[in-house]
Structure 1
Amino acid sequence: MMSLDNDIELLAPQVHENLAVIPLKTQRSYIDMLTLKKGMELGLVEVKECETSQVNTVIVKNNAVAPLILIDGEEIIGGDQNRIINSTILLEANSEMAVPVSCTEKGRWAYKSEFKQSEYMANYNTRKAKRYAEKTSQHTQDVIWSSINQLEVENSFASPTSAMEESYENLKSTHESIIHEFEVESEQNGVLIILNGEIQGFEIFLNPEIYREFHKKILKSYIIDSKIENNTFAVNVDEAKDIISKTFTSSYEKRENLGLEEIFEFENDDGIGTVYAYQNKIIHMSYFQKLKKEIEDEIDEGISLESDT
């Protein structure tokens, strides 16, 4: 694997009922880059439909003098339908790119408004299913639609357009009260999630400033797929350290990049993940617990149902 600074510090765990998070901290990096949120707020970044609209592609224009980082799973809403970014991309300054996306609103194909950044990102189960679908060359869009449908079923909610965003909005007040229990620590730039004593995954960003933009989104993406209940457990920090350590000793496969980033994928006995690097620094890293067989079967069944309709 490439040589990366992988010195990750695990800070004191934070626990609320059966959910625990371990804030992660790495050595601070000073690479200048812009996030989608900041870029759109400053009017330096534009997201639009292709000249002939396509479900799985949008055009992103970066008018800033710094590279733009798009994060895997972050959602944009509006356009002809809501989408998520398929892969973390570092788009160079003053450039335009056709960016691969996936639909998160199956029941709408009509212009609604200019694109804006959503308050949410793809839920944990959808991101994990998408990652496994990409690995096994399944039809990613069908997997995502199936996962969002399952999200609605599990939460006894139905959006008129099968919009993932509306599932989040339906539970917004509940989520906010839970998120309030988890504070962002000084210099924190990552987080590891544990539910009922079982590690679900972790996420690392280039620096604390970028992480702060995604703190709530990441936690909500796990909470919406979890049953939060009064069932405490002891947090095993050593196990968390071991999980992280194993990710850096796994076999990595380099994937074709779309922007300035380098992409390295890995899988081990515990899970699956992706490292996005630039100038030999991790700009984004995501890891998900190994897909359970019953979930894999549900995804396959969902794909079959999608194909039959």
Structure 2
Amino acid sequence: MQISNHSFTKHGRLSVLQFSTPEKNTFEYISGPSAIAKNFVEVREVSFSGSVNNLELVNNSDKYIFFLDGDILSGAKQNRVLNTSVLVAPNTKLNIPVSCVEQGRWRSVSSKFSPKDYISPDSLRAIKLKAVNKNLRRGRGHFADQGEVWEEVDKFLRIHKSISTTMDFTKVYEDKEKDFDDFVKQFSVNNESNGVAMFMDNSPLGIDIFNRTDIYQEYFPKRLRGIALEVLNLKDKENTMTEAEANYKTLSLFDELEKLKYTEHDGVGIGKEKRYNNDKLVALELKYLQNLIHFTLLNLEKVN
């Protein structure tokens, strides 16, 4: 993978490297949250009785719609998180695999789901992605381990001392919205970039690459709010990361990935997936008509 650096920023123990890849803006699509806001898309329970790990998505537009692994959808019978990135064809209805992030509620508060201005933290995304990879290899579909997801939700509620009678993951963000917003303001999005690598101290947290720079700009602050959940509770520590080191470690991760075996699968919507993992990392590549739609690489090792 070749990358061109555009921006390197540090704040506290987090370092953020923004970069471009050789191919970008090669395919036209809009984000799921934007599509919901414009009433292009409806996401709802699959039926009146519902299904914890599936939602129904209806694209009523002539647009291609992209949802990111880790997108949080709130409302209906309980709040959910997407298990994988999904590219939805125009004028399409499909079921999307999700996990519950609100264990104690199963009653309807709205007919449709609404997006949030954050995504789930990288540790939760990594756990889900590893479980989905395992289930796909066994022919069980794009499903995560719901028990592991609930354990992560409980962990973050405890760490941030948020009290939720329904064990609702979104309660943490509601309680610390100002802290998270102040944190995000320390980082400015680079409008030429379509990729980002994030590091805690000198250890990688994750990498995301989008086809489109406008989609990247939309998800950049959401990604930071997810990361804030993992870093704001940590004790201060000198951050010695340099741009040269961040660049080297990012390229090293791509080099390591190229040595791994991968499995290929049909996407939940349209497109083809490549899925990779070993004991240290897990990754997903989603392509459609030879266009990279989304790539994510996440660290499985615990970063303290």
TM-score normalised according to structure 1 size: 0.87
Whole-Å separation in 2 of the counterparts to 1:186 and 1:178 = 19
- AA paired with 2:15? A
- Counterpart check, 1:79 vs 2:76: yes
Q: Does the 8 Å CA contact 2:123/2:300 hold for their aligned counterparts?
A: no
CA distance change for structure 1 residues 218 and 206 in 2, over 3 Å: closer, same or farther?
same
| 1:49-88 residue CA offsets vs partner (Å, 9 max, x unmatched) | 1223111111110011122112111011101111111111
| 1:91 alignment counterpart | 88
The equivalent position to 2:185 in structure 1, one of 171, 174, 180, is 180
Q: Which runs of 5+ in 2 are unaligned?
A: 136-142
- Deviations along 1:196-244, one digit per CA (max 9) or x if unpaired, are 1111111111111111111111112122112263522132132222123
Cα root mean square deviation, aligned: 2.0
Within 5 A, what are the aligned runs for 1:133-148? Answer: 133-137=131-135, 140-148=145-153
Equivalent in the alignment of 1:278: 288
Please state if 1:31 is matched with 2:14: no
Distance of 1:18 and 1:80 partners within structure 2:
37
SS at match of 1:12: strand
Contact 2:80 2:100 survives alignment (8 Å) = yes
Contact 1:128-1:291 within 8 A present in 2 as well: no
What is the TM-score normalised by the length of structure 2? 0.89
Q: How far apart, CA to CA, are the structure 2 residues paired with 1:168 and 1:174?
A: 9
Q: Distance in 1 between matches of 2:26 and 2:144?
A: 38
What's 1:122 paired with? 120
User: CA, structure 1 residues 269+85, in 2 after alignment: closer, same or farther (shift >3 Å)?
Assistant: closer
Aligned-partner Cα distance in 2 for 1:257–1:189: 21
Specify the code of the residue in structure 1 equivalent to 2:274.
Answer: F
Instruction: Report sequence identity in percent.
Output: 22
Q: 1:228 to 1:284 in 2, by over 3 A?
A: farther
Asked whether the 8 Å contact 1:205–1:282 carries over to 2, the reply is yes
Could you list the per-position Cα deviations for residues 160-199 of structure 1 after superposition, in whole angstroms to 9, with x for gaps in the alignment? 2111111122121111111111111121112101111111
| Partner Cα separation in structure 1 for residue 195 and residue 224 of structure 2 | 11
Tell me: CA distance 1:190–1:139, structure 2 relative to 1, closer, same or farther (3 Å).
Answer: closer
Alignment partner, residue 140 of structure 2:
none
**Match 2:44 to one of 48, 62, 72:** 48
Distance 1:145 1:12 in 2: 35
CA distance in 2, matches of 1:180, 1:83: 27
Tell me what 2:176 maps to.
171
Q: 1:150 to 1:175 in 2, by over 3 A?
A: same
Q: What SS class does the counterpart of residue 13 from structure 1 fall into?
A: strand
Match of 1:233 among 225, 236, 240: 240
Q: Which moved more, 1:128-137 or 1:60-69?
A: 128-137
Question: Aligned partners of 1:180, 1:222: CA distance in 2, in Å?
Answer: 13
SS where residue 223 of structure 1 aligns?
helix
Alignment of 1:132-281 (within 5 A): 132-137=130-135, 140-226=145-231, 227=234, 229-235=236-242, 236=245, 237-268=247-278, 270-281=280-291
Inter-CA distance 218–242: structure 2 relative to 1 (3 Å threshold):
same
SS of residue paired to 2:293: strand
Say if 1:19 and 1:228, in contact at 8 Å, map to a contact too. Answer: no
| 1:19-73 C-alpha deviation (Å, 9 max, x unpaired) | 1100021232231212112211221111111223111111110011122112111
Q: Which amino acid letter does the alignment assign opposite residue 184 of structure 2? A: I
8 Å contact from structure 2 (residues 33, 67) kept in 1: no
5+ long unaligned stretches in structure 1? 1-5, 296-309
